[in-house]
Chains A and B, each alone.
Chain A
Amino acid sequence: MRLFFALFMLLVPFCSAQGTHLEKIVLEEVLTIGNFDDDSLFQWVGVAVDSEGTIYVTDAMDYSLKKFDASGSLLAKTGRRGQGPGEFSAPRLLDCSKQFLFVTEQYQPVIKVFDKKLRYQFHIPLVGPAGDLKVLEDGLVAVVVLSANGQSHLEFYDREGKIVRKVHFSERPSSLLLDMVSFDLDSQGNVYLAYNFVDKIVKFDDRGKKLWSKNLLGIKQVKSEKISSYLVPTEIVYKDVALDRSGNLYVLGGKFSANRSRDVYVLSPDGELLSTLTLPDTSHCIYIDGENFLYSRANEGVTLKKYRMVYK
């Protein structure tokens, strides 16, 4: 009996370790949009893909919002340099709902909303510039907004610009840039944050309670530089996050990763590191669509790549 008990105790950790096995993820390129020989893309920034596989991209260089079909052919383009409706001064982040496309501006506290035919519809006023954006439904968007005191908050806006929910994640009283984050939301309303200048990935539940916090790279503090009168962190730790269809979190690493701006850490919903994959090219962002295809940058923004993720 004692022998059986001893064997059981030995097997328990072994079995639990089997449950957290590492998977190898291989990327198979399925689509390329834009290259140095054509003018499809010049310096794309944001990407979103709808349920039909239509790809929407913001392009900073020609102040535009572009629409490509699933095979990568340009279907439509809108926008020009300006501050008016349907114009852009610096188009950045992009996300889509069933009906609409939502575009942030670098130098304006607004989200510009377009229909799927790229016709300007309305704008959502924000209290400050947007650091990251996710659309929950046609009339509800979640935005990381930087307020005048330099602190970031995750705010949920309705289409009139009314804040309907706010998540405070900053743990420092005054922390210029140190609480800048990229985020994603799962279907239960849980929030995943990756800090841009701190080695920290955090999950909050839908009521704002912290569930876990991870540091993957063992970075205690990044270098800072005094610029004008501001102490500015100069090394980026994490660049972007995206959730896949199974609820796993993909985190794009920055300067401290073995392959800078190419390594993507894959975490389970419980924060366990499952795998690491490496993008073929450096990227500023990652995007995963409803079919689990991964999108990232190549050729410094001239090219958008779409990959199938094969789990081995």
Chain B
Amino acid sequence: MKRTSKCMKGITIGLVIVVFFLCIGMSDLHSGECEKAFMRCTEDPFWGATPFGVVYCITGYVFCKKYIEG
């Protein structure tokens, strides 16, 4: 009985830790919207192929950070 209780306690603590890290992961996912858009832009052959194209990705990224990041 005592052993089962200890096991439950361990599982609960483990679950709390997992939920905590999931929450951190979720907030990272949310804050990374502009970074993902920037990556997609630089990997796009139309924009990312030339240094001049990348500056459009940069201004798009700045706009995204200003507009979306609250």
Contact = CB atoms under 8 A, between A and B. Distances in A.
Interface of A: 45, 92, 106-107, 128-131, 146-150, 176-177, 180, 196, 225, 227-230, 232, 234, 236, 239-240, 254-255, 260-261, 282, 284-285, 301
B59 A129 contact: yes
A284 B69 CA distance: 9
A92 B65 CA distance: 14
A232 B52 CA distance: 17
A227 B38 CA distance: 8
Interface residues of B, number: 24
Chain A facing B: main interface SS: loop
The 8 closest A-B pairs by CB, nearest first: A282-B70, A228-B42, A129-B59, A284-B66, A148-B52, A284-B67, A236-B65, A146-B55
A269 B39 CA distance: 39
Interface of B: 31, 34-35, 38-39, 42-43, 48, 51-52, 54-56, 58-63, 65-67, 69-70
Given A146-B59, A227-B42, A261-B69, 8 more contacts: A129-B55, A146-B55, A150-B54, A228-B39, A228-B43, A236-B65, A254-B65, A301-B67
Of the listed residues A149, A227, A229, A282, the one surrounded by the most CB atoms of chain B closer than 10 A to its CB is A227
Given A228-B42, A232-B35, A261-B69, A106 B63 contact: yes
B25 to A, nearest CB: 15
Contacts of A128: 52, 55
A228 B51 CA distance: 13
Contacts of A260: 69-70
Nearest to A229: B42
Given A228-B43, A255-B69, A301-B67, A106 B60 contact: yes
Contacts of B63: 92, 106
Given A128-B55, A146-B59, A148-B52, A240 B70 contact: no
A227 B67 contact: no
B56 A131 contact: no
A284 to B, nearest CB: 4
Contact of B55 (A45, A92, A147): A147
A232 B59 CA distance: 12
B41 to A, nearest CB: 9
A227 B59 CA distance: 15
A287 B67 CA distance: 15
Given A227-B35, A227-B42, A196 B56 contact: no
11 contacts: A106-B60, A129-B55, A146-B58, A146-B59, A148-B51, A148-B52, A148-B55, A230-B38, A230-B54, A254-B65, A260-B69
